[in-house]
Structure formats: C-alpha cells, structure tokens
Amino acid sequence: MADNFPELLDTRGLRFAIDDGFSWVVANYGDTLERLLAPLLKLLGAMEAFLQWLPWYVTIAGIALLTYSASRNLRMTGSAIVMLFFIGAVGLWNDAMATVALMLAATVVAVVVGIPLGIVMARSDRLRSIALPLLNIMQTLPIFVYLIPFVMLFGPGKIPAILATVFFAIPPVIRLTDLGIRQVDGEVVEAIVAFGATPSQKLVKVQIPLALPTIMAGINQTTMMALSMVVIASMIGAGGLGYQVLQGIQRLEVSRGLVAGIAIVFLAVIFDRIAQSYGRRAQKHLEHGE
C-alpha cells in the first residue's frame, strides 16, 4: 500500500474559523439580510404567480411571438410551440413556469449587476487583473459549493436558490461586457471624443452599441447557466422542474427524471434560440449601420 501524502498544513483551524465566521454573520445579521432581500423574494413570487396564472395558450402565444420577432423564422417558432405543448401535455406546465420565473429573476439580477461591473472592469486594467482570477474561480467551482454558504445564511428556500443561481451565472455577462467594450475600435472612440463627447456619451452612444453583440452573447451564456443552476437549486427548496428530477433520483423513477429533464432541455433550447437570434440581429444591424 502506498504511503499517504504527509499532512504538511493543518487546515482545521482555518475551516473552523470560516464556519464560525458564517455562524456569527447568521446570528448577528441574518434577519437584516433577509429584510434586505425581501423585495427580491417578492419579485420572484410575483413572477411565478403571474406565469402560473396566465393561461397556457397566452404564454405559448407570447413566447412564439418573442421567438419570431427575434428569429424571423417560422420553423424555429413552430418548434418552440411544439416543445411548449410537450411540456404542458406531460403535466409539467406549472413546474416549468416556476423554473422560468426563477431563471428570469436570477438572469435579470445577474444582468443588472454584471453589465455595470463589466463596464467598470473595461475602464480599469488593475481592476481587471484582480477580477479575472476571481471570475475564473467562480466559473470552475463545483455547482454544489454555491449552495452551502447561502443555506447557512438563510436556510433552505427560494432566497438561497436565487442568490446561488445569480453568483453561479454572473461571470459570463461580466467577462463579455468587459471584452466587448475593450474590442471597440479605438479610432471610433477617439473620433467621438474629438467631437467633444463626454465619457458618458462615449459609453452610451458608441461603446455599448458596438459591444452589444458580445454583451448579448454574455447574456445568453448567463441565461443558460442560470437554467442549469435552477435544477441543482431544487435541492434547497427552489421547486420547479429541478424538483421533479430530484424526486426521480430519490424514488428511482427513471421516467419522472427523464421527462422533467427533456422539459428542461426544451426550455434551454427555446431561450437559447431567442437570445442567439437577438444577438445575430444586433450584429447584422451593426454591420448594416457601418
């Protein structure tokens, strides 16, 4: 038998310190944090209630219209309708709407926070040198690791589920916003500055419009990562289609897990096509404008 690697560092003290630190935060600031995040929970609850209240045919018509407006493709629109009909036909409509609500809420928060952070990163090389390693770590951490601190802070439920989803899904939109702005042609930026544009005008009228296709790619990746995390978040009370997959694992029901998994894939395909189509249209509009 091979010798074990010698224990050179005793990490117990560090681990105990981290755990005690989280316990201290929970004891002293847990209620405050819950009050601060109450509006986010209300937003999620309102979105979920609205999507489940909305008649299924209205929802399908709305998503079909959104798909067609993005793609201008009847075949893509028809396939989206068929996939949504499948989700409803197998009895997973309400679970799917709960999943969509959590995904959309997490994506909105990630985009609202991530795009400004990406803009700030694009303006500071020092900040970028610090942020990129952190974003790399965030994208390579195992998904389950995100659940632990938020469950310690808030207990099982929708708040830790949406926070874990936001933290897991936010790196792409930050990175690609930074990348898109940095890739804007320097001569174009210099030209508008020469005409007397302020920094805010330079950002709003030149950098963001020219970086929009790259930013849209980041939003697309964030949306897909949010949807994948929503499934894992079912383990801490997120509900939705992920809960059906979890039930399939716990009860060893292959059919339940398979059908719910197919429904998740269909949602991912629909939203991925919508986001990609809008990104391509933004790119074509930009090229046409040039």
Backbone phi, psi, residue 3, to 5°: -70, 145
Q: How far apart are CA 61 and CA 48, in angstroms?
A: 18
Q: Could you read off the pLDDT tens digit of each residue along the chain, which spans 290 residues?
A: 556 766 766 677 777 777 777 778 777 777 787 788 788 788 888 888 888 888 888 989 999 998 888 778 888 888 889 999 999 888 888 888 888 888 888 888 999 999 999 888 888 888 888 888 888 888 888 777 878 877 877 777 788 888 888 888 899 999 999 888 888 777 777 777 777 777 777 777 778 888 888 888 888 888 888 888 877 777 777 777 877 888 887 788 788 888 888 888 898 888 888 877 776 776 666 555 55
pTM assigned to the model = 0.82
pLDDT of residue 284: 66
SS (H, E, C) 87-104: HHHCCCHHHHHHHHHHHH
Which residue's structure tokens are 């117990």?
12
pLDDT of residue 264: 87
- The residues, any chain, with a CB within 8 Å of residue 275's CB and separated by 6 or more, are 216, 219, 220, 223
- HSE-up (13 A, CA, CB side) for residue 168: 29
Q: How many CB atoms lie within 10 A of CB 114?
A: 26
- The residues, any chain, with a CB within 8 Å of residue 48's CB and separated by 6 or more, are 97, 98, 101, 102
pLDDT of residue 84: 92
